[in-house]
Amino acid sequence: MGASAGGVQALQKVVSEFPADMEAGVFVVLHTLATVESLLPQVLARVSAFPAVTAEDRGLIETGKIYVTPPDRHMVFHDSAMSVVRGPKENRHRPSIDVLFRSAAMTYGPRVIGVLLSGADDDGTAGMMAIKRRGGITIVQDPAESAYPEMPGTALRTVGPDFKLPVAEIGPRIRDLVEGKFQKTEREPMSEPVDKSLEQDEGSPTDVRKLGSPSAFTCPDCKGTLWELQDGQLLRYRCRVGHAYSVESIIEAESDSVERALWEAVKTLEESAQLSRRIAQKTGILREELTQKAVEREQHARVIRELLVGNTN
């Protein structure tokens, strides 16, 4: 299960419906700050018949338990065990829902049920496509009742999940699917993924020859070349290192890069102006010229600063 903004309450509602004897393991990614300890296991354990724990590296998987991905780590699977790794960020997140869903799809195929809840971005869409492609079942929270509808809404438009449900019905539907009381609708097989690198172990080097077409853009994280991947309606970008971006996340990352560059320009201009004034005062050499340069650079810095803070006075 994956959630972001507004997703804690939705997660609580879903896991509260699981009976203690349900034969399934539950794995959760909630977007969190890397530096803050997650209290989600305790929060979920209070409302669920399942015990909830923080996932541990190389831990064995048990049914009837909730595993929460720790901050600043991805959760991936290897047969009957899980790993928590500090791999490249995806969609600017670590942990990333896409990483969890994709690894589950590659390892367990049609045994996977992927659930995407409230969130303010589009992490999880590519992962849901991987689950659907491998024969698993996909469920999204109805965007109309989500606190933040962007994440389930994007998956709904792009992937066409098996079920769109209000959060109160998701837990019972999972229970019925696990117990075989509810059968998914038959669908046409999906094509193989464009991004063959997704079949590699998390954190391993990416074979760029298996990617899409090189783009004219660079990775905001490592400055390497980004490859453009068009998979049906899903457009993504990925670099050699493994950083991956949805359309929304690459736009946000580039916006942040532009802002950082502009603040760097402000700092450089203001420091240059201060240096010019200092030299002019200390030596008297080219005083008028240096003072004029300082004034010009201070004006340029002021224009950029006003642009950044939205101050036009």
CA distance 2 to 19: 20
Q: Please check whether residue 113 is in contact with residue 128, taking contact to mean a CB–CB distance below 8 angstroms.
A: no
Q: Is the dihedral of CA 176, 177, 181, 185 positive or negative?
A: positive
Which of 295, 244, 217 minimizes the C-alpha distance to 74? 244
Q: Please check whether residue 13 is in contact with residue 168, taking contact to mean a CB–CB distance below 8 angstroms.
A: yes
Active site includes 31?
Answer: yes
Q: Is the dihedral of CA 160, 14, 182, 115 positive or negative?
A: positive
Active site includes 123?
Answer: yes
Which of 58, 60, 59, 56 minimizes the C-alpha distance to 70? 56
Of the candidates 121, 123, 162, 195, the residue annotated as catalytic is: 123
User: In this structure, what DSSP letter does residue 90 have?
Assistant: B
CA distance 198 to 1: 19
Contacts of 153 (CB under 8 A, 6+ apart): 143, 146
The backbone torsions φ and ψ at residue 304, rounded to the nearest 5 degrees and listed phi first, read -65, -40
Catalytic residue list: 4, 31, 123
